[in-house]
A and B are shown apart, each in its own frame.
Chain A
Amino acid sequence: MKNSHKKAAASYAVNLVLVLLLFAALYFLVSSGTVNRYYADLISLVCINVTLAVSLNLVTGVLGQLVLGHAGFMLVGAYACALFTKSSALPISVSFPIGLVLAGLMSAVFGVVIGVPALRLRGDYLAIITLGFGEIIRVVANNLKITGGAMGLSGIQAIANRKNPAGMLPYAFFIAAAAIFISFAFARSRHGRAVIAIREDEIAAEASGINTTYYKLLAFVLAAFIAGVAGGLYAHHLGVIDPAKYDFNRSVEILIMVVLGGMGSITGSVISASVLTVLPEALRSFSNYRMLAYSIVLICVMLFRPTGLLGKYEFSLSGTVARFTGKKKPAAAGGVKGGGAQ
């Protein structure tokens, strides 16, 4: 068994190096001004959306429950982070990371408060109740003084500016990378196994000694935490918080990313979140037709790949390498995805 540890450690190391290389490349492109502010913002936005999709995938894909209020958690995180950085006297480079942690924690608290009653239900009923909670959060934010009411919050210090166009990139990129690693590692731990067992058959999971209430809440709160952090990032990405932007449509947008990529596949969530963020921008030249094209893409994918682009498949570097070098049969490579790295 020691051998498997070495392999796992090696594959984590290789993936870490690749992630760092990717970051270095992006950072160079942005900070040197090779790509303009528009693209720099787009890269950060892709990272934020990847984080959101990966977090929702924990609930929708791994736990197998439909949640329609994910934007609500984002909103909680956005306010928590922005209110902290606005009121704090610390320099932004210190207050922003603290704000992000606060955003996650605050959102996790809301996750517990909402999850305890909501997770007694499942399927359609859970979808409706989370939709309700998502809307409640937004409406409350619309009417409170501290949240700035319907005007929202403005004057949030931007992390990326003219002097430092790559300011946002390290935060957005490494948080996305961390979200991917954490949800990957979670799904392949005993806790993730318990959560997947609940997805497969709740009654059998309970009969196998799984405390279903606890594990459902665990997945839900973890997803809320990550979504809250992403919300904090988003607030500082835009520089303003407009509660109307975190409505039902935003929740659906995140859900589409997860479903399109393949429920339960982290790789799928990453790819489809990236594509669905870039696609509407790339189609801007078609102005009026772009949402039409976007919708057609969605319909086609659902018609021809109802399980999503990747189904439950996970990309694994070690598995792919093994397949090409012919060390393992393709059937065995499927098993590698369990122990391999994403």
Chain B
Amino acid sequence: MSKAVLKADHLGITFGGLKAVTDFNAEIGEHELVGLIGPNGAGKTTIFNLLTGVYQPTEGSVYLDGKSMAGKKPHQMVKAGIARTFQNIRLFKDMTVIENVKVAFNQHMKYSVFGGMLRLPSFWKEEDGIDGKARELLRVFNMEDLAQNTAKNLPYGQQRKLEIARALATGAKVLLLDEPAAGMNPTETMELMNAIATIRERFGISIILIEHDMSLVMKICERIIVIDYGQIIATGTPAEVANNPKVIGAYLGE
């Protein structure tokens, strides 16, 4: 495995008396695609919330490129290079497709409030640049034609893709996808798998994926982390994990 981009070191969180996640250790390498699986309520999304700063861990910490991310708020995490999508799609519903993407470019834009309000040259220059970049990104997802559509009017599969495009627009090094294939039909899932493969090629980023669709996970992930009751019960290649008795036990019951 190459150098670790994202590292979780003894990560844990307690809600009152409930230990939702304990002793979560993981290293995600450059350009790696890791699956995070586990039964319902195992703590997968909680781990995502810890990695993106939504929750502050009660023990351990997260490192990005060796730097501690302790105490960072979600938007600072994004700036540092960790972006995510949500289990239940969270788009800016009444904005157009291209504006959804442009919002995520905001942190890379410089012009001031007055530059924008007075329409100074800096406004036009940057807005043009961002317009081009946003369209380019939509083209990767074959969504360029939909740029002026309102986000809420897109079909479900396209909304999922738009959410990924938006996360990519932040310029992230690590992308966390929370059940990207949930609610998709097999064709849409296929299309999504291709899209994930493409962005990994083109943007050279690391991806962590929570997914219940096992065929998808087994096919595209290089490494899988299985958790149950907030603890890692197995890690390894898809084949190793699939034959691990602990994993089978967790999913099927002893």
Residues of A within 8 A of B (CB): 1, 4-5, 8, 12, 182, 185-186, 189-194, 196-197, 200-201, 203-212, 218, 222, 312, 335, 338
Contacts and interface: CB of A to CB of B under 8 A. Distances in A.
Interface stretch (B19-27, B59-67, B100-108, B241-249): B100-108
B95 to A, nearest CB: 6
B113 A191 contact: yes
B118 interface: yes
B123 interface: yes
25 contacts: A185-B116, A185-B117, A186-B117, A189-B111, A190-B106, A190-B111, A193-B95, A193-B103, A197-B92, A200-B92, A201-B91, A204-B86, A204-B92, A205-B103, A206-B75, A206-B78, A207-B78, A207-B84, A208-B83, A208-B103, A208-B106, A208-B167, A209-B106, A209-B170, A335-B148
Nearest to B176: A207
B56 interface: no
B interface secondary structure, majority = helix
B9 interface: no
A335 B96 CA distance: 9
A197 B124 CA distance: 21
The 8 closest A-B pairs by CB, nearest first: A189-B116, A209-B78, A200-B92, A204-B90, A209-B107, A208-B104, A197-B103, A206-B74
Contact of A207 (B52, B106, B118): B52
Contact of A209 (B75, B95, B117): B75
B94 interface: yes
A189 B123 contact: yes
A177 to B, nearest CB: 14
Contacts of A207: 52, 74-75, 78, 83-84, 86, 90, 167
From A5, A197, A203, name the one whose CB has the most chain B CB atoms within 10 angstroms.
Answer: A197
Contacts of A5: 124
Contacts of B92: 196-197, 200-201, 204-205
A193 B94 CA distance: 12
B166 interface: yes
A190 B78 CA distance: 17
Given A206-B75, A207-B90, A182 B106 contact: no
B131 interface: yes
B10 to A, nearest CB: 25
B166 A190 contact: no
A12 B120 CA distance: 13
Contacts of A335: 96, 148
B119 interface: yes
From A1, A185, A193, name the one whose CB has the most chain B CB atoms within 10 angstroms.
Answer: A193
A235 B13 CA distance: 56
A19 B174 CA distance: 50
B67 to A, nearest CB: 17
A286 to B, nearest CB: 40
Nearest to A197: B103
B79 interface: yes
Interface string B174-206: 000000000000000000000000000000000
B99 interface: yes
A89 B113 CA distance: 34
Contacts of A12: 119
Interface string B121-141: 001101110111000000000
Contacts of B113: 186, 189, 191, 218, 222
B214 interface: no
B154 interface: no
A312 B96 CA distance: 14
B3 interface: no
Nearest to A185: B117
Nearest to B99: A193
A22 B150 CA distance: 35
From A4, A204, A206, name the one whose CB has the most chain B CB atoms within 10 angstroms.
Answer: A204
Given A193-B99, A201-B91, A201-B92, A208 B166 contact: yes
